[in-house]
């Protein structure tokens, strides 16, 4: 399947994007080492050439430098790509200083993001994390005004719970929810996915490769630098990685049979769930980009899906997906 002909619509919004997007956070933030800017621009443009039309960033990534990178890389593709960015944090001295979704901050972020991204209108504007101090109706109302003003096209939420999604959607139509979802983190299946389907909202899973674990490239000796956020993830502690490798072994077995890679199996599995789900795997390497897009050529049979299902029931991952501090910011 050619990704150029592989499009998906995010729910009932009419927003059409490539079946796989590109998460750009890791080029500037989160993994300890900041990628070479020239190489990152080359990778983003290569993604466009290969048919990717959906790019994910946020003011928080850097902060600010990731949006600037995306703005420079995609400047000549205006109207041909969809750029999603996010608001919702206080940023002081280059660091996150708590959530802030007050209307004046949302407006301030929108204006700054438009300049950094070199665009006239933000395609998809997510609330990065729910702010318990600002009613979600107020947040949705502010974004609705920005849509009327032509500064934003679509409203999104990230890591929001069902009640918040419903309340926001009643004020301003929510186009997409971005939350973690993978073979390794399936909680959204309980109540989130049925709610999104009911309301006609698209789903954009981040970390579809389990923060790199499902690629099969980690082993019990894998460690992370203290500047890499994964060093704080309980699920990726040395003792838990050792236990959780059983899970990856299964994916490797299926990948071998399918003449695919574990990465491609993990992404193909997500793509097979619903037609309105668009994962956004991130990478800083062109060969990994090509590998990720190869998932579109992998077809999992009903037997494959059943085998994966049985194995995931038997082998529950050990350890939380976030550190205690990060977990507190997740809306329930």
Q: Cα–Cα distance between 214 and 201 in angstroms, integer?
A: 27
Strands 95-99 and 89-92, by their bridges, are antiparallel
Strands 174-180 and 95-99, by their bridges, are unpaired
How far apart, in Å, do the first and last CA atoms of the chain sit? Answer: 37
HSE-CB of 94 using CA atoms within 13 angstroms: 5
User: Environment class of residue 124 by beta-carbon count within 10 Å: exposed (0-12), middle (13-18) or buried (19+)?
Assistant: buried
Q: Which of 31, 61, 126, 181 is catalytic?
A: 61
* Four-residue CA torsion sign, 84, 90, 92, 98: negative
N residues, the chain: 332
Measured CA distances, 219 to 54, 124, 246, 291 (Å): 31, 37, 11, 20
User: Environment class of residue 213 by beta-carbon count within 10 Å: exposed (0-12), middle (13-18) or buried (19+)?
Assistant: buried
User: Is 322 part of the annotated catalytic residue set?
Assistant: no
Q: Cα–Cα distance between 157 and 167 in angstroms, integer?
A: 12
**The pair of three-digit structure tokens given for residue 29, joined into one six-digit string:** 């933030």
SS3 readout for 157-174: EECCCHHHHHHHHHHCCE
User: Does an H or E element contain 195, and which?
Assistant: helix 192-199
Catalytic annotation, residues? 61
């Amino acid at each position: 399947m050619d990704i150029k002909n592989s499009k998906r619509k995010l729910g009932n919004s009419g927003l059409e994007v490539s079946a796989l997007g590109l998460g750009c956070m890791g080029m500037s933030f989160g993994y300890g080492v900041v990628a070479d800017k020239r190489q990152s621009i080359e990778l983003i443009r290569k993604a466009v050439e290969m048919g990717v039309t959906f790019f994910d960033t946020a003011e928080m990534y850097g902060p600010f430098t990731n949006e600037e990178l995306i703005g420079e890389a995609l400047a000549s593709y205006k109207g041909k790509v969809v750029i999603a960015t996010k608001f919702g944090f206080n940023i002081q001295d280059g660091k996150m200083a708590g959530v802030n979704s007050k209307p004046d901050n949302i407006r301030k972020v929108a204006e700054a993001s438009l300049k950094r991204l070199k665009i006239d209108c933000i395609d998809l504007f997510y609330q990065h994390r729910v702010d318990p101090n600002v009613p979600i109706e107020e947040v949705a109302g502010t974004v609705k005004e920005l849509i009327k003003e032509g500064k934003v096209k679509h409203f999104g939420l990230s890591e929001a719970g069902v009640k918040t999604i419903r309340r926001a959607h009643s004020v301003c139509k929510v186009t997409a929810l971005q939350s973690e979802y993978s073979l390794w983190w399936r909680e959204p299946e309980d109540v989130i996915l049925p709610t999104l389907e009911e309301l006609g909202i698209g789903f954009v899973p981040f970390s579809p490769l389990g923060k790199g674990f499902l690629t099969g490239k980690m082993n019990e000796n894998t460690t992370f630098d203290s500047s890499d956020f994964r060093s704080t993830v309980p699920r990726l502690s040395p003792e838990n990685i050792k236990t959780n490798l059983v899970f990856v072994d299964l994916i490797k077995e299926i990948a071998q049979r399918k003449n695919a890679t574990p990465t491609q199996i993990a992404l193909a599995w997500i793509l097979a769930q619903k037609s309105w789900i668009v994962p956004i795997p991130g990478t800083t390497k062109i060969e990994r980009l090509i590998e990720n897009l190869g998932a579109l050529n992998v077809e999992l049979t009903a037997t494959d899906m059943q085998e994966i299902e049985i194995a995931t029931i038997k082998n529950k991952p050990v350890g939380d997906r976030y550190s205690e501090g990060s977990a507190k910011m997740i809306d329930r």
